[in-house]
Amino acid sequence: MDFSTGRRERLPRPCPRLSLSVVVLPLALAAACATSPERKETPRRAHAPYRLAPQAFPAPESDDDASPTAMNAPPQPPAPAAAPPPKTDAPPSLEALDLETALEVFASTQNAARQRATGERPAMAAESLRRWSEIFGAVDRALRTPARELPLLTFVRARVALESELELDATRYAALPPWLPIALEARLQGLTRKIDEHRALLSAPRPITFRWPLESPLVTSLFGPRRDPFTGQKRFHRGVDLRARTRQRVEAIAPGTVTRAAENGGYGLSVEILHEGGFTSTYSHLSLILVRQNDRVEAGDPIGLTGNTGRSTAAHLHFEIWKGSEPVDPLDLLPAPEILRSARR
């Protein structure tokens, strides 16, 4: 309706043909699908498996950073192994080996060279001469080493081996170079001196050190003449007396073997130990013995407890050191102890 004129206008009607086509077309399509003959699907051919060429995937820095793609990546082919170094049959230089090993290599290589040599009395090969020079270098290095740092048997074996190898070479080859016997004789003399040094070290008496049998020793009676506490007469005191409380620990003064561990007359319960160098130590007036005869003891091992057994006026330790069949003053062999003023003469 047009309000300006007051007239009512007609609206256009929908087209009946368009509405019919919208309804009829879907029905026709449905009927066509229902009446069409059944189609057979063509069977699918199996495809060949996929082949992925080897690729280089960077390894993740950590487990947390690994991505799904990298985790599902195909395994990498193993890296080709590095080619091993070419093998060589050349033995090592003898100068770089210790003397024992150098002698073994020298003997084997010289024997092999003598077997390879052709002819009745051939000339010595240059390789054999070079080996002699190398073994001389190994011997010289050993001769510069202090004798105590190498076993005696090493020097003995070196001397025997060198003499033997020279004799075998002289028998196999036509002639030896004149310098070879001279150079060998110089090394043999050096080896002989080393052997003598070694034997001197073995035969030399090793210094023995002693320690006091009691902790913080206090000497109450010195070694030498003194007045007997029982008779008042002068007698020779063959050891020293050390102040001690009852049942105080007594220790061995040095390594040794127990030769006596029993009661010994006026000495009471006594322990005697034989040490290196012909020394013997005696510990007397004990209240308890902690070792047995033939026991092996080390310095500081407990051997008994102090007491007042035997011919004694009070608890103390009577201590003696003997060199062979003669008693010696312990103060000459042990560190200076504290000495009671009344004991000084």
Residue-wise pLDDT tens digits, 178-201? 999 999 999 999 999 999 988 888
Q: Provide the pLDDT for residue 63.
A: 47
Domain at 218-343: CATH code: 2.70.70.10
Q: Provide the pLDDT for residue 106.
A: 92
Q: Provide the pLDDT for residue 147.
A: 82
CA distances in angstroms from 311 to 229, 307, 342, listed in the order given: 10, 11, 21
Closest C-alpha to 304, from 244, 241, 219: 244
Q: Provide the pLDDT for residue 69.
A: 47
Q: Provide the pLDDT for residue 92.
A: 65
- Which tens digits make up the pLDDT trace of 229-269? 888 888 899 999 999 999 999 999 999 999 999 999 999 99
**Ranges in the chain, pLDDT < 70:** 1-92, 204-206, 343-345
Residue limits of CATH 2.70.70.10 in the chain: 218-343
Q: Provide the pLDDT for residue 65.
A: 47
- Which tens digits make up the pLDDT trace of 20-40? 555 555 565 555 555 555 555
